[in-house]
Amino acid sequence: MGSVDLAGRVALVTGATSGIGAATATLFAERGTHVLVAGRDADRGENLVGDIRSRGGKADFVAADLRSASAVRQLAREATELGGGRVDILVNNAGIFPFGPTDATAESDVNTVYDLNVKAPFYLVAELAPGMAERGNGAIVNVTTQVAYYGAAGMALYGSSKAALHQLSQAWVAEYGPRGVRVNTVSPGPTRTRGTAAMGDALEALAAEAPAGRPAEAEEIAEAIAYLVGDSASFVQGALLTVDGGRTAV
Ligand code: NAP
């Protein structure tokens, strides 16, 4: 069952009904974590929980649409209750990534992207980090994207939301780091998921820009997240772990 350094912890993974979040929840559970699988789709959420349990892991599904602050706060409360009074690990992974010209972007898209990609992590940390700080122990990973770190036509809205999330990581290192909460960032490159399935050849084309020359599998991103929340990373705070096949290095 892999490394045991996540045993006994309670982890909330947002966007865990699909892609990178599902792979992360699966890996955490293999390492002994009680995983709280958050998402909207109850069928996919319960399926994943069933899979994890059938392999001896511990998991619960929590349904939440994270576009409103009240729903985000409610998720934090439910997660804490399911976790027996605590959440030790938070992975802010849920996100949407609509691409397109700035001048053709609907106001509703701007609002939704910022509600989900920026405000939901903000309110989740507001709810959960104080408890971690009180216990002197916690780990948070924010999932950004390579396009937060360079200019790409058509990605202004998405890239800027994730750049904001990265800045939140850094601010939270300053705010909660002194009280034992480690906050880090994982920046994936193009990854095969349910969410990118519709991109077809465009995903391959984007991936071809990187030295690795191929899209990632969700499990490859999950490994980086699991490293950062585990004891192997006990002195790692404020790191930006790029898992982008080398794209932002060149
Ligand atoms: P995905 O397959 O599209 O899954 C997105 C997840 O977010 C799903 O679990 C979905 O839940 C959840 N979600 C979407 N809208 C939500 C809402 N309003 N309320 C609550 N949950 C919501 O995504 P992915 O490709 O694995 O990406 C995961 C993260 O990695 C995202 O933040 C993305 O920006 C980032 N990322 C992805 C790539 C890539 O190439 N895949 C690259 C760089 C960064 P339901 O399905 O249950 O609604």
Instruction: Tell me the residue range of the domain where 136 lies.
Output: 10-249
Would residue 176 show up in a list of annotated catalytic residues for this protein?
no
Catalytic residue among 114, 123, 149, 158: 158
- The answer to whether residue 1 is domain-embedded is no
Contact 44, 12 (CB under 8 A): no
Q: Ligand 1: which of 20, 186, 204, 244 to mutate, judged by most atoms within 8 Å of the beta carbon?
A: 20
| Ligand 1 center–CA 119 separation, angstroms | 15
| Ligand 1 center–CA 178 separation, angstroms | 31
For residue 66, the ligand 1 atom closest to its alpha carbon is 19
- The answer to whether residue 35 is domain-embedded is yes
- The answer to whether residue 3 is domain-embedded is no
- The answer to whether residue 28 is domain-embedded is yes
For residue 22, the ligand 1 atom closest to its alpha carbon is 9
Classify burial at 240, counting beta carbons within 10 Å of its beta carbon; exposed 0-12, middle 13-18, buried 19 or more: middle
Whose tokens are 């996540």? That residue is: 6
Give per-residue pLDDT as tens, 146-168. Answer: 999 999 999 999 999 999 999 99
Q: Is the pLDDT of residue 238 over 80?
A: yes
**Sign of the CA dihedral running 121, 18, 5, 167:** negative
- The answer to whether residue 2 is domain-embedded is no
Is the CB of 67 inside a 6 Å radius of any atom of ligand 1? yes
| Ligand 1 center–CA 96 separation, angstroms | 5
- The answer to whether residue 146 is domain-embedded is yes
CATH of residue 157:
3.40.50.720
pLDDT at site 4: 59
- The answer to whether residue 4 is domain-embedded is no
Domain tally, the chain = 1
Residue 5 binned pLDDT confidence (cut-offs 50, 70, 90): confident
Give per-residue pLDDT as tens, 40-97. Answer: 999 999 999 999 999 999 999 999 999 999 999 999 999 999 999 999 999 999 999 9
Q: Ligand 1: which of 17, 47, 91, 142 to mutate, judged by most atoms within 8 Å of the beta carbon?
A: 17
The model's pTM? 0.98
- The answer to whether residue 5 is domain-embedded is no
